[in-house]
Amino acid sequence: MVLGLGIDIIEIERIKKSIEKYGERFLNKVFTKEEIRYCNTKFNKYQHYAARFAAKEAVYKALASGWKEGLRWKDIEIQNDTSGMPSISPTGKLQSFLSNNTQLRISISHSENYVTSVAIIFKNSSA
């Protein structure tokens, strides 16, 4: 059963400008140390930062009450498996939103100038 669905789109240039203007303050507010490390190893690091930002926004929207409940940006960590597929590593307050039988999935796509992400929260069906 679907419990929530969120989508976000962002210009890569917008994230690039935020990083250039606010530097470490912006990065450390929004991204985990692992996300920063990952993005900084990529050729187009701003595209990867934008992808993580869009995914986090999509998760907030899927939760609907996420902003009201005091979730922090870094409570949502975006990771990639060895094939590149993105996933969520919930920490902090996000863990309390998700019960044992609830899953959160994301998808991220990008073009030269934009990144979009979709997040879905669903309850596992009991067999």
How many CA atoms lie within 13 Å of 52's alpha carbon, on the beta-carbon side?
28
Task: Please give the tally of structural domains in the chain.
Answer: 1
Per-residue pLDDT, 99 = 73
Q: Which structural domain range is residue 85 located in?
A: 2-123
pLDDT tens profile 111-126: 999 999 999 999 887 6
pLDDT tens profile 62-98: 988 655 577 889 999 999 988 989 999 888 888 877 8
Per-residue pLDDT, 65 = 66
Closest CA to 40 of 53, 30, 27: 27
Query: Residue 30 is part of a domain; what is its CATH number?
Result: 3.90.470.20
Per-residue pLDDT, 66 = 54
Residues, the chain, total?
A: 127
